[in-house]
Structure 1
Amino acid sequence: MPIKLYGFPPSHATRRAAVIFKELDLLYELVPVDMLKDEHKAAGYLAHQPFGQVPYIDDNGFVLFESRAIARYLVAKYASPQKKSLMPTPADPERFALFEQAASIELGSFDVYMNALSWEVIFKRYSGILTDEAIVADLLKTLNSKLDAYEVLLSKHRYLAGDEVTLAELFHLPFGNTLGTMGYDLLTNSSRPNVSRWWKDISSRPSWQAVKENA
Protein backbone atom coordinates (compact mmCIF):
# COMPACT_ATOMS: atom_id res chain seq x y z
CA MET A 1 0.00 0.00 0.00
CA PRO A 2 1.60 3.31 -1.07
CA ILE A 3 2.52 5.89 1.55
CA LYS A 4 0.16 8.84 1.42
CA LEU A 5 1.78 12.25 0.94
CA TYR A 6 -0.55 15.09 1.89
CA GLY A 7 0.63 18.32 0.33
CA PHE A 8 0.22 21.19 -2.08
CA PRO A 9 1.87 19.87 -5.29
CA PRO A 10 3.86 23.04 -6.22
CA SER A 11 5.02 23.84 -2.68
CA HIS A 12 8.73 23.76 -1.93
CA ALA A 13 8.35 21.50 1.10
CA THR A 14 6.02 19.05 -0.65
CA ARG A 15 8.46 18.70 -3.54
CA ARG A 16 11.33 18.35 -1.08
CA ALA A 17 9.62 15.28 0.32
CA ALA A 18 8.50 13.98 -3.07
CA VAL A 19 12.01 14.00 -4.52
CA ILE A 20 13.10 11.56 -1.81
CA PHE A 21 10.32 9.15 -2.76
CA LYS A 22 11.55 9.33 -6.35
CA GLU A 23 15.19 8.98 -5.32
CA LEU A 24 14.32 5.77 -3.45
CA ASP A 25 11.97 4.45 -6.16
CA LEU A 26 9.33 4.38 -3.45
CA LEU A 27 5.67 4.53 -4.42
CA TYR A 28 3.51 7.21 -2.87
CA GLU A 29 -0.02 8.49 -3.27
CA LEU A 30 -0.22 12.27 -3.43
CA VAL A 31 -3.27 13.59 -1.60
CA PRO A 32 -3.61 17.19 -2.80
CA VAL A 33 -4.13 19.88 -0.18
CA ASP A 34 -5.26 23.12 -1.81
CA MET A 35 -3.50 25.87 0.11
CA LEU A 36 -5.21 28.48 -2.08
CA LYS A 37 -8.48 27.38 -0.48
CA ASP A 38 -6.91 27.17 3.00
CA GLU A 39 -7.43 23.43 3.17
CA HIS A 40 -4.24 23.25 5.28
CA LYS A 41 -6.06 25.25 7.96
CA ALA A 42 -9.14 23.02 8.10
CA ALA A 43 -9.81 21.13 11.34
CA GLY A 44 -9.36 17.73 9.70
CA TYR A 45 -5.94 18.68 8.40
CA LEU A 46 -4.84 20.33 11.65
CA ALA A 47 -5.64 17.09 13.47
CA HIS A 48 -2.61 15.59 11.71
CA GLN A 49 -0.44 18.68 11.18
CA PRO A 50 -1.23 21.11 14.01
CA PHE A 51 0.98 23.85 12.54
CA GLY A 52 -1.14 24.00 9.39
CA GLN A 53 1.75 23.46 7.01
CA VAL A 54 2.48 20.99 4.22
CA PRO A 55 3.35 18.20 3.81
CA TYR A 56 2.75 15.28 6.07
CA ILE A 57 2.80 11.55 5.36
CA ASP A 58 0.67 8.65 6.54
CA ASP A 59 2.61 5.39 6.35
CA ASN A 60 0.02 2.77 7.27
CA GLY A 61 -1.08 4.78 10.30
CA PHE A 62 2.27 6.36 11.16
CA VAL A 63 1.89 10.10 10.66
CA LEU A 64 4.90 12.38 10.28
CA PHE A 65 5.32 15.97 9.19
CA GLU A 66 8.27 18.30 8.36
CA SER A 67 9.80 17.53 4.97
CA ARG A 68 13.33 16.95 6.24
CA ALA A 69 12.13 14.60 8.96
CA ILE A 70 10.09 12.75 6.35
CA ALA A 71 13.19 12.42 4.17
CA ARG A 72 15.26 11.01 7.01
CA TYR A 73 12.51 8.55 7.92
CA LEU A 74 12.13 7.30 4.36
CA VAL A 75 15.84 6.68 3.98
CA ALA A 76 16.14 5.03 7.39
CA LYS A 77 13.24 2.68 6.72
CA TYR A 78 13.15 2.09 2.98
CA ALA A 79 16.51 2.85 1.34
CA SER A 80 18.24 0.03 -0.48
CA PRO A 81 21.86 -0.68 0.49
CA GLN A 82 22.96 1.39 -2.50
CA LYS A 83 20.93 4.38 -1.28
CA LYS A 84 21.89 4.24 2.41
CA SER A 85 24.70 6.72 1.67
CA LEU A 86 22.05 9.43 1.34
CA MET A 87 22.07 9.57 5.14
CA PRO A 88 25.19 8.32 6.96
CA THR A 89 24.58 6.91 10.43
CA PRO A 90 26.39 7.33 13.77
CA ALA A 91 28.04 3.97 13.11
CA ASP A 92 30.44 6.02 10.98
CA PRO A 93 30.81 9.09 13.21
CA GLU A 94 32.95 11.19 10.87
CA ARG A 95 30.68 10.75 7.82
CA PHE A 96 27.63 11.21 10.04
CA ALA A 97 29.03 14.45 11.44
CA LEU A 98 29.87 15.79 7.97
CA PHE A 99 26.36 14.95 6.80
CA GLU A 100 24.78 16.75 9.75
CA GLN A 101 27.09 19.70 9.12
CA ALA A 102 25.94 19.85 5.48
CA ALA A 103 22.28 19.52 6.47
CA SER A 104 22.72 22.37 8.96
CA ILE A 105 24.33 24.50 6.25
CA GLU A 106 21.31 24.01 3.98
CA LEU A 107 18.89 24.98 6.71
CA GLY A 108 20.80 27.87 8.27
CA SER A 109 22.72 29.34 5.33
CA PHE A 110 20.38 28.74 2.39
CA ASP A 111 16.77 27.89 3.24
CA VAL A 112 16.22 30.76 5.66
CA TYR A 113 17.34 33.36 3.12
CA MET A 114 15.55 31.71 0.22
CA ASN A 115 12.32 31.68 2.22
CA ALA A 116 12.65 35.40 2.77
CA LEU A 117 13.62 36.10 -0.85
CA SER A 118 10.71 34.06 -2.21
CA TRP A 119 8.36 35.98 0.05
CA GLU A 120 9.63 39.30 -1.27
CA VAL A 121 9.88 38.44 -4.95
CA ILE A 122 7.04 35.95 -5.47
CA PHE A 123 4.49 35.82 -2.69
CA LYS A 124 4.26 39.55 -2.00
CA ARG A 125 3.57 40.21 -5.67
CA TYR A 126 1.04 37.39 -5.78
CA SER A 127 -0.70 38.97 -2.79
CA GLY A 128 -0.64 42.45 -4.33
CA ILE A 129 1.98 43.76 -1.90
CA LEU A 130 4.93 45.81 -3.11
CA THR A 131 8.31 44.08 -3.05
CA ASP A 132 10.86 45.81 -0.85
CA GLU A 133 13.83 46.06 -3.21
CA ALA A 134 16.19 47.03 -0.39
CA ILE A 135 15.39 43.77 1.39
CA VAL A 136 15.87 41.85 -1.87
CA ALA A 137 19.28 43.45 -2.40
CA ASP A 138 20.34 42.63 1.15
CA LEU A 139 19.17 39.00 0.85
CA LEU A 140 21.02 38.57 -2.46
CA LYS A 141 24.17 40.02 -0.89
CA THR A 142 23.89 37.55 1.99
CA LEU A 143 23.21 34.60 -0.31
CA ASN A 144 26.20 35.51 -2.45
CA SER A 145 28.36 35.54 0.66
CA LYS A 146 27.01 32.16 1.77
CA LEU A 147 27.59 30.65 -1.67
CA ASP A 148 31.17 31.91 -1.61
CA ALA A 149 31.59 29.63 1.41
CA TYR A 150 29.92 26.81 -0.53
CA GLU A 151 32.53 27.34 -3.23
CA VAL A 152 35.29 26.75 -0.70
CA LEU A 153 33.69 23.53 0.54
CA LEU A 154 32.92 22.25 -2.95
CA SER A 155 36.46 22.90 -4.12
CA LYS A 156 37.54 20.16 -1.70
CA HIS A 157 34.82 17.57 -2.30
CA ARG A 158 32.27 16.74 -4.95
CA TYR A 159 29.38 17.31 -2.53
CA LEU A 160 28.87 19.21 0.70
CA ALA A 161 29.47 16.20 2.95
CA GLY A 162 32.13 14.45 0.88
CA ASP A 163 32.22 12.62 -2.42
CA GLU A 164 28.76 11.03 -2.28
CA VAL A 165 25.44 12.80 -2.66
CA THR A 166 23.38 13.01 0.53
CA LEU A 167 20.00 14.32 1.59
CA ALA A 168 21.70 17.64 2.29
CA GLU A 169 22.10 18.16 -1.46
CA LEU A 170 18.55 17.09 -2.26
CA PHE A 171 17.14 19.48 0.35
CA HIS A 172 18.49 22.39 -1.75
CA LEU A 173 16.59 21.47 -4.90
CA PRO A 174 13.20 23.23 -4.57
CA PHE A 175 14.52 26.62 -3.51
CA GLY A 176 17.57 26.33 -5.76
CA ASN A 177 15.23 25.87 -8.70
CA THR A 178 13.16 28.86 -7.60
CA LEU A 179 16.28 31.00 -7.44
CA GLY A 180 16.77 30.38 -11.15
CA THR A 181 13.12 30.94 -12.07
CA MET A 182 13.28 34.29 -10.28
CA GLY A 183 16.09 35.24 -12.65
CA TYR A 184 19.09 35.05 -10.34
CA ASP A 185 22.16 33.11 -11.49
CA LEU A 186 23.78 32.67 -8.09
CA LEU A 187 24.04 28.89 -8.50
CA THR A 188 25.26 28.98 -12.08
CA ASN A 189 27.57 31.98 -11.96
CA SER A 190 30.94 31.33 -13.59
CA SER A 191 32.66 33.07 -10.68
CA ARG A 192 31.83 29.99 -8.58
CA PRO A 193 32.71 27.06 -10.86
CA ASN A 194 32.42 24.42 -8.15
CA VAL A 195 28.99 25.61 -7.04
CA SER A 196 27.91 25.67 -10.70
CA ARG A 197 29.25 22.15 -11.25
CA TRP A 198 27.52 20.93 -8.07
CA TRP A 199 24.19 22.53 -8.96
CA LYS A 200 24.22 21.15 -12.50
CA ASP A 201 24.93 17.70 -11.05
CA ILE A 202 22.18 17.59 -8.44
CA SER A 203 19.51 19.47 -10.40
CA SER A 204 19.81 17.05 -13.34
CA ARG A 205 19.01 14.00 -11.23
CA PRO A 206 16.00 12.08 -12.64
CA SER A 207 14.35 12.13 -9.20
CA TRP A 208 14.26 15.92 -9.26
CA GLN A 209 13.22 16.18 -12.89
CA ALA A 210 10.18 14.04 -12.03
CA VAL A 211 8.91 16.47 -9.38
CA LYS A 212 10.50 19.73 -10.51
CA GLU A 213 7.16 21.40 -11.24
CA ASN A 214 4.76 19.45 -9.03
CA ALA A 215 5.06 16.65 -6.48
Structure 2
Amino acid sequence: MVLKIHGHAVAPLVRLVAEVCQEKEVPYELVNVEVYKGEQKTPAFREFQPFGQVPYIDDDGFILYESKAICRYIAKKYASQGTPGLVPHDPKAEALFEQAVSIETSNFYPFALGIATEKIIKKHRGLEPDEARVSVLLNTLNTKLDAYEVILGKQAYLAGGNITLADLFHLPYGTIVFEELAYDMLESRPNVARWWKEITSRPSWLAVKAKA
Protein backbone atom coordinates (compact mmCIF):
# COMPACT_ATOMS: atom_id res chain seq x y z
CA MET A 1 0.00 0.00 0.00
CA VAL A 2 1.36 3.43 -0.96
CA LEU A 3 1.82 5.87 1.88
CA LYS A 4 -1.01 8.41 1.84
CA ILE A 5 -0.58 12.05 2.85
CA HIS A 6 -3.88 13.67 3.79
CA GLY A 7 -3.65 17.40 3.16
CA HIS A 8 -3.66 20.21 0.62
CA ALA A 9 -0.90 20.39 -2.00
CA VAL A 10 0.13 23.96 -1.17
CA ALA A 11 -0.14 23.65 2.62
CA PRO A 12 3.41 24.30 3.92
CA LEU A 13 3.68 21.29 6.23
CA VAL A 14 2.12 18.98 3.66
CA ARG A 15 4.90 20.09 1.34
CA LEU A 16 7.44 19.31 4.05
CA VAL A 17 6.25 15.72 4.44
CA ALA A 18 6.16 15.26 0.66
CA GLU A 19 9.69 16.65 0.42
CA VAL A 20 11.01 14.11 2.92
CA CYS A 21 9.25 11.32 1.02
CA GLN A 22 11.07 12.54 -2.08
CA GLU A 23 14.41 12.59 -0.22
CA LYS A 24 13.87 9.02 0.97
CA GLU A 25 12.49 7.79 -2.37
CA VAL A 26 9.20 6.78 -0.77
CA PRO A 27 6.21 6.66 -3.16
CA TYR A 28 3.23 8.54 -1.80
CA GLU A 29 -0.29 9.57 -2.72
CA LEU A 30 -1.67 12.96 -1.80
CA VAL A 31 -5.26 12.69 -0.59
CA ASN A 32 -6.64 16.19 -1.11
CA VAL A 33 -8.23 17.99 1.82
CA GLU A 34 -10.04 21.25 1.02
CA VAL A 35 -8.58 23.27 3.86
CA TYR A 36 -10.05 26.61 2.74
CA LYS A 37 -13.49 25.00 2.90
CA GLY A 38 -12.79 23.70 6.41
CA GLU A 39 -12.76 20.03 5.47
CA GLN A 40 -10.01 19.41 8.04
CA LYS A 41 -12.41 20.50 10.80
CA THR A 42 -15.07 17.90 10.00
CA PRO A 43 -15.72 14.94 12.31
CA ALA A 44 -14.57 12.54 9.58
CA PHE A 45 -11.15 14.22 9.42
CA ARG A 46 -10.86 14.73 13.20
CA GLU A 47 -11.29 11.01 13.68
CA PHE A 48 -7.70 10.71 12.47
CA GLN A 49 -6.34 14.16 13.36
CA PRO A 50 -8.13 15.41 16.49
CA PHE A 51 -6.75 18.95 16.17
CA GLY A 52 -8.20 19.40 12.69
CA GLN A 53 -4.89 20.24 11.03
CA VAL A 54 -3.07 18.94 7.96
CA PRO A 55 -1.29 16.70 7.32
CA TYR A 56 -1.67 13.23 8.67
CA ILE A 57 -0.42 10.07 7.01
CA ASP A 58 -1.83 6.59 6.56
CA ASP A 59 1.00 4.11 6.07
CA ASP A 60 -0.78 0.81 5.45
CA GLY A 61 -3.12 1.46 8.36
CA PHE A 62 -0.61 3.23 10.61
CA ILE A 63 -1.98 6.72 11.27
CA LEU A 64 0.38 9.48 12.31
CA TYR A 65 -0.02 13.26 12.58
CA GLU A 66 2.29 16.19 13.42
CA SER A 67 4.56 16.89 10.45
CA LYS A 68 7.90 16.66 12.25
CA ALA A 69 6.98 13.34 13.82
CA ILE A 70 5.93 12.12 10.38
CA CYS A 71 9.25 13.22 8.86
CA ARG A 72 11.24 11.44 11.56
CA TYR A 73 9.18 8.30 11.06
CA ILE A 74 9.78 8.30 7.31
CA ALA A 75 13.50 9.02 7.70
CA LYS A 76 13.93 6.19 10.20
CA LYS A 77 11.69 3.60 8.55
CA TYR A 78 13.37 4.10 5.18
CA ALA A 79 16.86 4.79 6.53
CA SER A 80 18.47 2.42 4.01
CA GLN A 81 17.22 4.28 0.94
CA GLY A 82 17.42 7.77 -0.49
CA THR A 83 19.35 10.54 1.25
CA PRO A 84 21.30 9.07 4.20
CA GLY A 85 21.63 10.51 7.68
CA LEU A 86 18.57 12.75 7.82
CA VAL A 87 18.29 11.52 11.42
CA PRO A 88 21.80 10.58 12.62
CA HIS A 89 22.37 7.48 14.76
CA ASP A 90 25.73 8.25 16.39
CA PRO A 91 25.05 9.70 19.88
CA LYS A 92 27.07 12.87 19.35
CA ALA A 93 25.75 13.43 15.84
CA GLU A 94 22.22 12.79 17.08
CA ALA A 95 22.71 15.30 19.91
CA LEU A 96 23.86 17.94 17.42
CA PHE A 97 20.86 17.08 15.25
CA GLU A 98 18.50 17.55 18.20
CA GLN A 99 20.21 20.85 18.96
CA ALA A 100 19.62 21.96 15.36
CA VAL A 101 15.97 20.88 15.52
CA SER A 102 15.56 22.96 18.67
CA ILE A 103 17.13 25.93 16.90
CA GLU A 104 14.50 25.74 14.16
CA THR A 105 11.66 25.15 16.61
CA SER A 106 12.54 28.02 18.93
CA ASN A 107 14.34 30.55 16.75
CA PHE A 108 12.81 30.28 13.28
CA TYR A 109 9.46 28.55 13.03
CA PRO A 110 7.33 30.74 15.35
CA PHE A 111 8.45 33.96 13.67
CA ALA A 112 8.25 32.73 10.08
CA LEU A 113 4.85 31.19 10.80
CA GLY A 114 3.66 34.43 12.38
CA ILE A 115 4.70 36.43 9.32
CA ALA A 116 2.99 33.94 6.99
CA THR A 117 -0.14 34.05 9.12
CA GLU A 118 -0.35 37.82 9.01
CA LYS A 119 0.49 38.29 5.34
CA ILE A 120 -1.07 35.22 3.68
CA ILE A 121 -3.43 33.26 5.91
CA LYS A 122 -5.30 36.38 7.03
CA LYS A 123 -5.66 37.42 3.41
CA HIS A 124 -7.36 34.13 2.56
CA ARG A 125 -9.73 34.75 5.47
CA GLY A 126 -10.56 38.24 4.28
CA LEU A 127 -8.69 39.90 7.14
CA GLU A 128 -6.11 42.68 7.18
CA PRO A 129 -2.60 41.94 8.45
CA ASP A 130 -1.36 43.50 11.67
CA GLU A 131 1.61 45.33 10.17
CA ALA A 132 2.94 46.32 13.59
CA ARG A 133 3.14 42.66 14.53
CA VAL A 134 4.75 41.84 11.20
CA SER A 135 7.43 44.44 11.91
CA VAL A 136 8.15 42.94 15.34
CA LEU A 137 8.33 39.43 13.90
CA LEU A 138 10.67 40.54 11.10
CA ASN A 139 12.97 42.33 13.53
CA THR A 140 13.11 39.28 15.77
CA LEU A 141 13.74 36.92 12.87
CA ASN A 142 16.53 39.17 11.63
CA THR A 143 18.20 38.94 15.02
CA LYS A 144 17.87 35.16 15.01
CA LEU A 145 19.38 34.95 11.52
CA ASP A 146 22.47 36.77 12.79
CA ALA A 147 23.10 33.72 14.98
CA TYR A 148 22.44 31.45 12.00
CA GLU A 149 25.12 33.37 10.12
CA VAL A 150 27.64 32.56 12.85
CA ILE A 151 26.70 28.87 12.97
CA LEU A 152 26.72 28.43 9.21
CA GLY A 153 30.04 30.22 8.96
CA LYS A 154 31.59 27.27 10.80
CA GLN A 155 29.80 24.35 9.13
CA ALA A 156 27.78 23.53 6.03
CA TYR A 157 24.51 22.70 7.77
CA LEU A 158 22.88 23.38 11.09
CA ALA A 159 23.85 20.03 12.61
CA GLY A 160 27.32 19.83 11.05
CA GLY A 161 28.75 18.74 7.73
CA ASN A 162 25.73 16.82 6.43
CA ILE A 163 22.15 17.78 5.71
CA THR A 164 19.52 16.60 8.19
CA LEU A 165 15.81 17.04 8.78
CA ALA A 166 16.69 20.11 10.86
CA ASP A 167 17.68 21.93 7.67
CA LEU A 168 14.70 20.67 5.69
CA PHE A 169 12.29 21.82 8.40
CA HIS A 170 13.05 25.41 7.36
CA LEU A 171 11.87 24.96 3.77
CA PRO A 172 8.08 25.52 3.90
CA TYR A 173 7.90 28.77 5.86
CA GLY A 174 11.33 29.99 4.80
CA THR A 175 10.13 29.80 1.20
CA ILE A 176 7.11 31.91 2.09
CA VAL A 177 9.13 34.58 3.92
CA PHE A 178 12.22 34.76 1.70
CA GLU A 179 10.69 34.00 -1.70
CA GLU A 180 6.91 34.46 -1.85
CA LEU A 181 6.88 37.55 0.37
CA ALA A 182 10.40 38.50 -0.81
CA TYR A 183 11.70 39.81 2.51
CA ASP A 184 15.39 40.51 1.97
CA MET A 185 17.15 38.78 4.84
CA LEU A 186 19.77 36.79 2.96
CA GLU A 187 21.92 39.20 0.96
CA SER A 188 23.66 40.61 4.04
CA ARG A 189 24.26 37.09 5.41
CA PRO A 190 26.40 35.17 2.89
CA ASN A 191 26.60 31.99 4.95
CA VAL A 192 22.84 31.83 5.41
CA ALA A 193 22.37 32.66 1.72
CA ARG A 194 24.70 29.84 0.69
CA TRP A 195 22.90 27.36 2.96
CA TRP A 196 19.48 28.51 1.78
CA LYS A 197 20.45 28.17 -1.88
CA GLU A 198 21.71 24.64 -1.25
CA ILE A 199 18.62 23.35 0.52
CA THR A 200 16.11 25.05 -1.79
CA SER A 201 17.81 23.79 -4.95
CA ARG A 202 17.51 20.13 -3.95
CA PRO A 203 15.61 18.12 -6.58
CA SER A 204 13.28 16.83 -3.89
CA TRP A 205 12.08 20.33 -2.95
CA LEU A 206 11.88 21.48 -6.57
CA ALA A 207 9.71 18.45 -7.37
CA VAL A 208 7.34 19.21 -4.51
CA LYS A 209 7.05 22.88 -5.48
CA ALA A 210 6.32 21.92 -9.09
CA LYS A 211 3.34 19.82 -8.02
CA ALA A 212 1.66 22.64 -6.11
| Shorter-chain TM band | over 0.9
> What residue is the counterpart of 2:175 in the other structure?
177
Is the 1:174–1:212 contact (alpha carbons within 8 Å) kept by the matching residues of 2?
no
In the alignment, structure 1 residue 210 sits paired with structure 2 residue 207: yes
Give the ranges of 4+ consecutive aligned residues of structure 1 lying more than 4 Å apart after TM superposition.
none
The one-letter code of the counterpart of 1:211 is: V
Give how far 1:119 is off.
1.1
Q: How does 1:133-144 map to 2 (within 5 A)?
A: 133-144=131-142
What letter is aligned with 1:28? Y
> Quick one: distance in 2 between partners of 1:183 and 1:76?
34
Structure 1 length as normaliser, TM-score?
0.94
Q: Give the aligned partner of residue 46 of structure 1.
A: 46
Q: Secondary structure at the match of 2:77?
A: helix
Identify the match of residue 153 of structure 2 among 155, 162, 182.
Answer: 155
Looking at structure 2, the residues matched to 81 and 25 of structure 1 have their Cα atoms a distance apart, in angstroms, of 7
Note if contact 1:21-1:27 (Cα within 8 Å) is conserved in structure 2.
yes
Distance 2:136 2:170 in 1: 21
Higher mean alpha-carbon deviation, 124-133 vs 101-110, is at 124-133
Could you tell me how far 1:83 is from its partner in structure 2?
3.0
Is the 8 Å Cα contact of residues 88 and 96 (structure 1) preserved in structure 2? Answer: yes
Cα separation, 1, equivalents of 2:33 and 2:51 = 14
Gaps of 5+ in 1: none
CA RMSD of aligned residues (A): 1.3
CA distance in 2, matches of 1:49, 1:213: 27
Are the equivalent residues in 2 in contact too, given 1:15–1:214 (CA < 8 A)?
A: no
Q: How many residues align?
A: 211
Q: Which residue of 1 aligns with 2:33?
A: 33
Per the alignment, residue 119 of structure 1 pairs with: 117
Asked if 2 retains the 8 angstrom alpha-carbon contact of 1:120 and 1:136, the reply is yes
The equivalent of 2:15 in structure 1 is 15
Structure 2: runs of 5+ lacking an equivalent: none
- Equivalent residue for 1:83? 83
